[in-house]
Amino acid sequence: MSYEIGRLLLFLGIVLAVIGLVLMFLPGLRLGRLPGDLVVRRENWSLYVPVVTSIVLSVVLTLILWLITWMRR
């Protein structure tokens, strides 16, 4: 059981490192500033709600996880 958890944590760490490298070296991705993200700016405060960014990330992560489970069969 602990062996499987260790493998999962190692895999997730590698995935997070790859995502971090992609975001560092490809700043043109513009994640977080997509059309449809809500930005409200007032005099003393601002509110940012990344609606479309969340949807895009959800779809991409769902496809990646689906592909991983499909390949493990």
Q: What is the pTM of this model?
A: 0.59
Which residues are CB-contacts of 47 (< 8 A; sequence separation ≥ 6)? 38, 39, 40
50 in Cβ contact with 57 (< 8 Å): no
Return the closest-CA partner of residue 49 out of 59, 39, 34, 35.
39
Return d(Cα 47, Cα 41) in angstroms, integer: 6
If one compares 73 and 62, the residue with the highest pLDDT of the two is 62
CA distance 47 to 38: 8
List pLDDT tens digits, range 18-71.
888 887 887 776 667 788 889 999 999 999 999 998 998 899 889 988 988 887
